[in-house]
Homo-oligomer: A and B are copies of this chain.
Amino acid sequence: MLRTNTCGELRITDTGKEVVLCGWLQRFRDIGTIGFIDLRDRYGITQLSFDQNRNKEIFEAAKKLGREYVLQIKGIVAERTSKNEKLLTGDIEVIVNEINVLNQSKTPPFTIENETDGGDELRMKYRYIDLRREIVRKNLELRHTISKFARQYLDSQNFIEIETPVLIKSTPEGARDFIVPSRLNQGEWYALPQSPQTFKQLLMVSGFDRYYQIVKCFRDEDLRADRQPEFTQIDCEMSFVEQEDILNTFEGMIKNIFKNVKNLSFEKFIRITYEDAMKNYGSDKPDMRFEMKFVYLDNVARGFGFNIFDDAETIIAINVKGASNYTRKQLDELTEYVKRPQIGAKGLIYCRVNEDGTLKSSVDKFYNEEALKLWVKECNSEKNDLILVLSGDLNITRKQMNELRLEVAKMLGLRNPEKFVPLWVTDFPLLEFDEDSNRWHAMHHPFTSPKIEDIELLKTNPGKIRANAYDLVINGVEIGGGSIRIHDRFLQQQMFSLLGFTEEQAQYQFGFLMNAFEYGAPPHGGIAFGFDRLCSLFGGSETIRDFIAFPKNNNGRDVMIDAPSEISTEQKKELGIK
Bound Cα distance A189, B172 (Å): 20
* Any B CB within 8 A of the CB of A264: no
Known A184-B222, A189-B565, A564-B188; contact A70-B522, beta-carbon cutoff 8 A: yes
Whether, in the assembled complex, A562 has its beta carbon less than 8 Å from a beta carbon of chain B, the answer is yes
Are A40 and B207 in touch, CB under 8 angstroms?
yes
Interface check A293, CB cutoff 8 A: no
Q: Are A521 and B144 in contact (CB under 8 A)?
A: no
A240 interface residue, CB < 8 Å from B?
yes
**Cα(A476)–Cα(B163), bound, Å:** 26
Within 8 Å CB of A105, what residues of B?
518-520
Give the CA-CA distance A556 to B168 in the complex, in Å.
11
Task: Indicate whether A310 reaches chain B with its CB closer than 8 angstroms.
Answer: no
A346: B residues at CB distance < 8 A: none
State the Cβ distance, A61 to closest chain B Cβ, in Å.
17
User: Interface digits, A520-549 against B, CB 8 Å rule (1 contact, 0 not)?
Assistant: 111100000000000000000000000011
Interface pair A169/B550, CB less than 8 Å apart: no
A550 to B213, CA, bound (A): 14
* Distance (whole angstroms) from the CB of A527 to the closest CB of chain B: 16
A103 touches B521 (CB 8 A): yes
1/0 contact string of A162-183 vs chain B (CB within 8 Å):
1111111110100011111111
Q: Does the CB pair A230–B167 fall under 8 Å?
A: yes
Q: A137-B207, A180-B180, A202-B128 are in contact. Are A550 and B165 (CB under 8 A)?
A: yes
A566 at the interface (CB under 8 A from B): yes
Q: Is A417 an interface residue (CB 8 A)?
A: no
Complex Cα distance A178/B167, Å? 10
A574 within 8 A of B: yes
Is A292 close to B, CB under 8 A? Answer: no
Tell whether A225 is near chain B: CB-to-CB under 8 Å.
no
Name the residue on B nearest A554 (C-beta): B184
A239 — which chain B residues lie within 8 A by C-beta?
A: 22
Contact A520 B104 (CB under 8 A): yes
Q: Which of A124-153 contact B (CB under 8 A)?
A: 126-129, 131-132, 137, 140-141, 143-144, 147-148, 151
Q: Contacts A1-B240, A556-B184, A564-B189 given; indicate if A102 touches B206 (C-beta within 8 A).
A: no
**Nearest chain B CB to A10 CB, angstrom units:** 16
- The answer to whether B566 and A188 touch across the interface, beta carbons within 8 angstroms, is yes
Q: Are B519 and A166 in contact (CB under 8 A)?
A: no
Cα(A182)–Cα(B220), bound, Å: 9
Residues of B within 8 A of A147 (CB): 161
The answer to whether B519 touches A68 (Cβ under 8 A) is yes
A170 B42 Cβ-Cβ under 8 A: no
Chain B, residue nearest A578 (CB): B578
B218 touches A177 (CB 8 A): no
Does any Cβ of B come within 8 Å of A18's Cβ?
A: no
3 A-B pairs closest in CB distance: A105-B520, A131-B206, A169-B563
Q: Other than A105-B519, A179-B180, give 15 A-B pairs with Cβ distance below 8 A.
A: A2-B240, A68-B519, A102-B523, A140-B208, A143-B162, A165-B549, A166-B216, A167-B556, A169-B564, A177-B571, A178-B190, A189-B564, A189-B567, A191-B563, A198-B561
6 intermolecular pairs with C-beta atoms under 8 Å apart: A1-B245, A102-B522, A127-B202, A140-B160, A180-B180, A199-B550
